[in-house]
Amino acid sequence: MTSKEHDAGPVTDFQNGKPHRILINDRPVLIVRKGDEFFAMRDGCPHAGASLAKGQVIGIACQALPGLAPGYEREGEVVTCPWHGWSFDLRTGCSLVQPQRYRVRAYQVEVRDGRVWVQTG
Ligand code: FES
């Protein structure tokens, strides 16, 4: 374990598809579980600072055939800001609309011994 690795808690504390907010060194971090996989990023929207942990975890809407409801690709891998609807890729932290311009810092996550470990360095 390095000094920049943080124990976020037991895997069982994280509900699938539900955003969680934890503090690491007094900084808010968003953690999202997708099955056995976990994502982590700074919990602050680069637009106006909203907590992304209060947003929705969704996917990327994809085009549907006429008469059919639209579906989602990469379900559970996108978080939408609760204030103005910007969306961020949970794998990279990049905005879906302007990925070169807007981005949230994403962290590596590892599951070990039934616990979630976040790498901040
Ligand atoms: S604060 Fe997140 S989209 Fe405006």
Q: For the chain, list the domains and their CATH numbers.
A: 5-119 (2.102.10.10)
pLDDT digits (tens, 9 = 90+) for 15-70: 999 999 999 999 999 999 999 999 999 999 999 999 999 999 999 888 778 888 87
Residue 111 is predicted with a pLDDT of 97
Are 86 and 45 in contact, with CB atoms under 8 Å apart? yes
Residue 47 is predicted with a pLDDT of 97
Per-residue pLDDT at 121 exceeds 90: no
Average model confidence (pLDDT) for the chain? 94
Give the model's confidence band at 3: pLDDT under 50 very low, under 70 low, under 90 confident, else very high: low
Residue 108 is predicted with a pLDDT of 97
Ligand 1 pocket check for 111: Cβ under 6 Å: no
Report the alpha-carbon distance of residue 48 to residue 39 in Å, rounded. 22
Q: For residue 19, how far is its CA from the centre of ligand 1 (angstroms)?
A: 16
Q: For residue 98, how far is its CA from the centre of ligand 1 (angstroms)?
A: 13
Residue 48 is predicted with a pLDDT of 97
Q: Which helix H or strand E contains 30, and what residues bound it?
A: strand 27-34
Q: For residue 113, how far is its CA from the centre of ligand 1 (angstroms)?
A: 36
Closest to 30 (Cα-Cα) out of 104, 97, 84: 104
Per-residue pLDDT at 83 exceeds 90: yes
Ligand 1 pocket check for 84: Cβ under 6 Å: yes
Instruction: Provide, rounded to the nearest whole percent, the portion of the chain with pLDDT above 90.
Output: 85
Q: What contacts 98, CB < 8 A, 6 or more positions away?
A: none
Tokens of 20: 């969680």
Ligand 1 pocket check for 47: Cβ under 6 Å: yes
